């Protein structure tokens, strides 16, 4: 399969690979996908006191498109509020990376990962 230049770039030079401490109050963690399906994404956001995503990290088990999709969204969410980040759509990811139809599920998973990370962060701060 021929990958787009953008996929190859993110795959070769993934942005923001790594992990934050899951227990940190300012961190939201999203873990989506399933090993049996061949894709698992872990996306973490670090949120400032005023509700801005100041940093993001990911780790992904999956094909090149899955790795590229998650790498891309770590760049996109940075500097956004939680509400803004929640508006990122899989179609934008797929379009930006020029994903072929069989790889659309990778962008869907990346969108799910953002939503899961936000939900995790919000769950930690329900009392606040």
Partner 1 sequence: MPDANAGANISLPIYLDYQATTPLDPRVLEAMMPYFTGKFGNPHSRSHQFGWDAEEAVEEARRNVAKLIGADEREVIFTSGATESNNLAIKGVAHFYKDRRNEIVTVVTEHKCVLDTCRHLEQEGFKVTYLPVQQNGLVDLDQLRAAVTDKTVIVSVMAVNNEIGVIQPLREIGEIAHAKGAFFHTDAAQATGKIPLDVNGMNIDLMSISGHKIYGPKGVGALYVRRKPRVRLEAMINGGGQERGMRSGTLSPPLCVGLGEACRIASEEMGQDLAHVQQLSTRFYDRITAALPDVFLNGDREQRFPGNLNLSFAYVEGESMIMAIRDLAVSSGSACTSASLEPSYVLRALGVEEEMAHTSIRFGIGRFTTEAEIDYAVDLIISKISKLREMSPLWEMVQEGIDLKSIQWAEH
Catalytic (active-site) positions: 37, 106
Q: Residue holding tokens 């993110």? A: 10
Report the nearest approach of partner 1 to the CB of residue 44 (Å).
10
- Considering the rule CB under 8 A, would residue 38 count as an interface residue with partner 1? yes
- Cβ burial of 47 (10 Å; 0-12, 13-18, 19+) is buried
C-alpha span between 112 and 109 (Å, rounded): 5
Nearer to partner 1, 14 or 84 (CB): 14
Nearer to partner 1, 48 or 91 (CB): 91
- Considering only residues 65-104, where is the footprint of partner 1 by CB under 8 A? 66-67, 102
């Amino acid at each position: 399969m021929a990958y787009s230049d953008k996929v190859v770039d993110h795959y070769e030079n993934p942005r923001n690979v790594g992990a934050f401490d899951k227990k940190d109050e300012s961190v939201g963690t999203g873990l989506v996908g399933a090993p049996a399906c061949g894709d698992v994404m872990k996306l973490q956001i670090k949120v400032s006191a005023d509700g801005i995503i100041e940093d993001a990290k990911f780790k992904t088990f999956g094909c090149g498109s899955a790795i590229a999709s998650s790498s891309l969204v770590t760049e996109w969410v940075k500097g956004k509020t939680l509400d803004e980040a929640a508006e990122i759509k899989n179609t934008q990811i797929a379009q930006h990376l020029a994903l072929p139809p069989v790889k659309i599920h990778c962008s869907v998973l990346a969108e799910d990962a953002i939503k899961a990370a936000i939900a995790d962060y919000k769950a930690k701060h329900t009392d606040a």
